[in-house]
């Protein structure tokens, strides 16, 4: 066909550029047919963003795990793997012994990436955390990870298909009283989104000096979005966002961990924290919310709150671990 479209939600239509996409499809199809016709199975390469939904993922993952395939290291993309193969760096042991300066000139590498990949292999072999030193020392200072009498740990649950923020979860850690209290500011119906937003603003307003820790930029972006949507004054939003500290950014800039991904669960589980519902994730949270709206069964809502609270507590545990890890460098 000369023209093609994708039918999306809410009656939206997306035009597909066939002239651009058809050659990519033909290349993918040719590669699949070649692999199917071969005598040996293709080498597994784990790309979580593409592989996680595949029916064969578990089989490929088990094989990659058994051989400690380099694709399990964060930062080893298919393109970078081809260059590593050309240098005969196809095992974790070989990459751990490589000189980052020899890798840096290769396309798609550079000094930061080359150093990170070598450290990643070394961390996996030693099952240890490796600091990312700069010329002026450890990348983080105490002002990057402020410790206060009261600290807030913030996580949002959203349903993108409904353009809805249905939960603001805030863990209030009061070091003065050795208390940790979780607040679930939830929109029990989509019409209560603004009420949940106002409840969040009221809660964080009680602790104007408290740093607000979150994981990845989404929370800060969403606060600005909701502020615009509901007409919250910039004089409230901007000072609020200035209190935000992205713990994911702090981790990836300062330390290399022996993990396959720098997602919240991978980091938290490595330091010893786990979720009460091991299979819970963001997609499951959306399913629970839809089930709650359809059935009114509070068990679905309780599962969301439990999952969100664990996300907040995981962020707290990671921040606490990172402060302890950084302390010797700050005291040096």
Residue 73 burial (C-beta neighbours within 10 Å; 0-12, 13-18, 19+): buried
Q: Write down the architecture of domain 48-128 according to CATH.
A: Orthogonal Bundle (1.10)
Distances (CA, A) of 87 to 69, 74, 90, 94, 122: 16, 19, 8, 10, 18
Q: Give the pLDDT confidence of 175-188 residue by residue, as tens digits.
A: 999 999 999 999 99
Q: Is 90 exceeded by the pLDDT of residue 257?
A: yes
Q: Is 80 exceeded by the pLDDT of residue 49?
A: no
Average pLDDT of span 145-164: 95
Q: Is 70 exceeded by the pLDDT of residue 137?
A: yes
Q: Give the pLDDT confidence of 216-255 residue by residue, as tens digits.
A: 999 999 999 999 999 999 999 999 999 999 999 999 999 9
Q: Give the pLDDT confidence of 51-107 residue by residue, as tens digits.
A: 878 888 889 889 999 989 999 999 999 899 999 999 999 999 999 999 999 999 999
Instruction: Name the more confident of 240 and 47.
Output: 240
pLDDT reported for residue 126: 94
This prediction has a pTM of 0.89
For residue 58, count other CB atoms closer than 10 A to its CB.
Answer: 10
Q: Is 80 exceeded by the pLDDT of residue 312?
A: yes
Average pLDDT of span 121-129: 95
- 152 CB-near residues (< 8 Å, 6+ apart): 170, 171, 172, 173, 204, 207, 210, 211, 212, 213
Q: Is 80 exceeded by the pLDDT of residue 48?
A: no
Residue positions counted in the chain: 332
Six-digit token string for 192: 């209560």
Of 190, 192, 197, whose CA–CA distance to 226 is shortest? 197
pLDDT reported for residue 1: 67
Query: What class does CATH assign to 147-331?
Result: alpha beta
pLDDT reported for residue 279: 87
Residue identified by tokens 């502020």 is 227
What is the Rg, in whole angstroms, of the alpha carbon atoms belonging to the chain? 23
SS3 170: strand
Compute φ and ψ for 243, nearest 5 degrees. Answer: -85, -5
């Amino acid at each position: 066909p000369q023209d093609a479209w994708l039918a999306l939600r809410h009656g939206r239509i997306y035009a597909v550029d066939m002239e651009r996409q058809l050659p990519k499809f033909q290349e993918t199809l040719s590669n699949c047919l070649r692999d199917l016709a071969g005598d040996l199975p293709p080498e597994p390469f784990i790309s979580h963003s593409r592989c996680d939904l595949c029916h064969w993922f578990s089989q490929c993952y088990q094989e990659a795990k058994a051989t400690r395939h380099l694709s399990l290291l964060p930062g080893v993309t298919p393109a970078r793997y081809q260059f590593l193969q050309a240098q005969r760096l196809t095992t974790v042991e070989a990459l751990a012994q490589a000189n980052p300066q020899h890798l840096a000139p290769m396309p798609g590498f550079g000094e930061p990436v080359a150093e990170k990949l070598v450290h990643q292999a070394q961390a996996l072999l030693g099952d240890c955390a490796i600091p990312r030193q700069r010329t002026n020392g450890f990348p983080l200072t105490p002002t990057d990870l402020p410790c206060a009498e009261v600290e807030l740990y913030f996580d949002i649950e959203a349903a993108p298909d409904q353009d809805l923020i249905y939960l603001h979860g805030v863990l209030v850690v009061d070091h003065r009283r050795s208390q940790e209290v979780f607040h679930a500011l939830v929109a029990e119906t989509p019409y209560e989104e603004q009420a949940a937003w106002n409840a969040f603003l009221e809660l964080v307003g009680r602790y104007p000096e408290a740093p607000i820790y979150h994981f990845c930029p989404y929370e800060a972006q969403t606060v600005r979005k909701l502020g615009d949507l509901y007409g919250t004054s910039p004089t409230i939003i901007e000072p609020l966002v200035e209190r935000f500290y992205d713990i994911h950014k702090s981790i990836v800039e300062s330390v290399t961990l022996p993990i396959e991904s720098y997602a919240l669960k991978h980091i938290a589980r490595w330091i010893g924290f786990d979720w009460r519902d091991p299979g819970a994730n963001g997609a499951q949270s959306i399913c629970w919310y839809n089930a709650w709206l359809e059935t009114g069964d509070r068990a679905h809502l309780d599962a969301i709150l439990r999952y969100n609270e664990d996300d907040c507590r995981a962020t707290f545990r990671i921040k606490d671990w990172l402060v302890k890890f950084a302390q010797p460098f700050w005291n040096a």
